[in-house]
Structure 1
Amino acid sequence: MSSPLEHAVSALNLPPKWRVRVQIRQRRRTLGIEVAPDGSVLLAVPVDADVEEITETLLANVDRVARAVRRRMAGGAEHQLKELVDGEHFSYLGRSYRLRLQEEPEARVRLVDGWLELPVGKGIPAGKRAIINWYTARGERWCKEHVSALASRAGVSVSSVRVRDLGSRWGERRADDSIALHWAVMQMSPPLIELVLAHELTHLRTARHSPLFREQLAMLVPGLEALERQLTVEGQAVWLGHIRGASAQPLISST
């Protein structure tokens, strides 16, 4: 470690098994703490980060990060690999649906009687994109229906809610006071989706993960700690778009 922030982090006597990296990100306004699949901890910090504030925030979140690191290093549930074949399971709003490939020319991705229907005739990458686009469209509609009431309770106004690929983050507060959710969040149960929404809405009042932030979020989300533990567990099992045997071969229905 070489920067003042890296020196400060190394002096915190964090658990010796933690592999901590500090990364300066131009677009960040607050500290981001990300736990990689190998258990390493990434601190994504803004350019003008205050060393004392960053270290205080990290210390306030040590227990939460430690739980995530332990699960990663213990080889917990990995993000699922899917096959685009009849009968594969995909989750939406906490419920599981089986995939059914459809050969009708006008078919589209949709839920029908407990099945998630996907048009065939396209390559596997195109089929994957179609499902992700379906989650994205469904997610934006769901968020628009639910964010107003939650924002009102939080005492904030939000310019817009977008659903997109956020990499390793479930949610993001943006510089224009809009928020974004990862499309994969839509696989989880509504209370967990609302937790992610509430987290980002709280950032509209309090930028960093301070004790005040935790207090505000807890007032907005009853049973906060239990839901956060549930999010950590379920979050490691959601599908992030990885396809087994991905290729340009066309999809073929078994019916």
Structure 2
Amino acid sequence: MSSPLERAVSALPLPPGWRIRVQIRPRRRTLGIEVASDGSVLLAVPVDADVEEVTETLLSNVDRVARAVRRRVAEGAEQPVKELVDGEHFSYLGRSYRLRLREEPKARVRLVGGWLELPVNEGVPVGKQAIIDWYTTRCLRWCKEHVSALASRAGVPVPAVKVLDLGNRWGERRADGSINLHWAVMQMSSPLIELVLAHELTHLRTARHSVAFKEQLTMLVPGLESLERQLAAEEKAAWRGHVRVTARPLIRSRCST
């Protein structure tokens, strides 16, 4: 059953097509309006949120939120799209690998030399998820090897880390002190992955992007500004799971080794 706040929000004269979720966050003191990578709108509200105040705030910010929704939708439309065919390129830790499809039972995604090998027994949807799962496993392994040392340098307890699809976000700090990372970050080089993780670890000490936050992050990440520019330049090319399904066979040609 929907809450009084959800019913009040659904009754507002908002732009058609908006998808709005209401999420109660016990540690919040004020209303937060977030626009996800798919263009949906999240209202992050404290436990004691006043329904009238929330609805008035949302209405007063309709134009700003609408611009953010249009921007997010446009960004999603411009994201790189891969074809799961021989020769397609996938990045891992800053290096590019060519896809090689294998018609073998019980095969698994793996790196072999300069190739990323993918079993094709189940077709495109399963193949896409198999690659995402491979990135996810590699990201968890990378974090296990690096998070303790980085957390120690940041002066925070070692957090639990989950690897998820975060849309256009590389990472996020959770209210319980854990951290989420996007599986797609594994396409970047290690220094850029460390930057993303360091950013979220710093948020465990300082919630907002304040002067103190920037100072702490600068101490934690040598060459911070250069790495931030590099990340901004490279993130648009990062694959986040979009695939093109065509009528052509998955195996376009056999690439010579």
Q: What's the TM-score, normalizing by structure 2?
A: 0.71
Whether contact under 8 Å (1:123, 1:250) holds in the other structure is no
Whether contact under 8 Å (1:79, 1:239) holds in the other structure is yes
1:173 aligned onto 2:203: no
Letter in structure 1 aligned against 2:108: R
The SS at the match of 1:236 is helix
Change (3 A) 1:138 1:229: same
Aligned equivalents of 2:252, 2:161: Cα separation in 1? 36
State the structure with bigger RCO (CA 8 A, min sep 6), 1 or 2: 1
Whether contact under 8 Å (1:171, 1:196) holds in the other structure is yes
Change (3 A) 1:218 1:46: farther
Change (3 A) 1:196 1:99: same
Q: For 2:24, which of 15, 19, 26 is the aligned residue?
A: 26
Cα displacement (A) at 1:167: 1.6
Q: What is the number of residues matched between the two proteins?
A: 212
The SS at the match of 1:217 is helix
Tell me the residue number matched to 1:136.
Answer: 136
The SS at the match of 2:91 is strand
Per-residue CA distance 1:82-124 (angstroms, 9 max, x = gap): 0000000000000000000011213100000110000012120
Letter in structure 2 aligned against 1:240: R
What CA RMSD, in Å, does the superposition of the two structures yield over aligned residues? 3.5
Aligned equivalents of 2:194, 2:126: Cα separation in 1? 30
Tell me the residue number matched to 1:237.
Answer: 237
Cα displacement (A) at 1:27: 4.0
Whether contact under 8 Å (2:23, 2:42) holds in the other structure is no
Alignment gaps of 5+ in structure 2: 1-20, 50-70
The higher radius of gyration belongs to 2
The SS at the match of 1:181 is strand
User: In the TM superposition, what are the counterparts of 1:15-164 in structure 2 within 5 Å?
Assistant: 25-27=23-25, 47=46, 78-164=78-164
Tell me the residue number matched to 2:17.
Answer: none
Whether contact under 8 Å (1:28, 1:45) holds in the other structure is no
Change (3 A) 1:186 1:177: same
Whether contact under 8 Å (1:29, 1:46) holds in the other structure is no
Cα displacement (A) at 1:24: 7.1
Aligned equivalents of 2:159, 2:88: Cα separation in 1? 37
Whether contact under 8 Å (1:125, 1:246) holds in the other structure is no
Letter in structure 1 aligned against 2:86: D
Alignment gaps of 5+ in structure 1: 1-22, 50-70
**Identical-pair percentage:** 69
Aligned equivalents of 2:159, 2:33: Cα separation in 1? 22
1:254 aligned onto 2:253: yes
Q: What's the TM-score, normalizing by structure 1?
A: 0.71
Aligned equivalents of 1:219, 1:34: Cα separation in 2? 31
Q: Runs of at least 4 residues of structure 1 off by over 2 A?
A: 23-37, 42-49, 249-255
Change (3 A) 1:28 1:108: farther
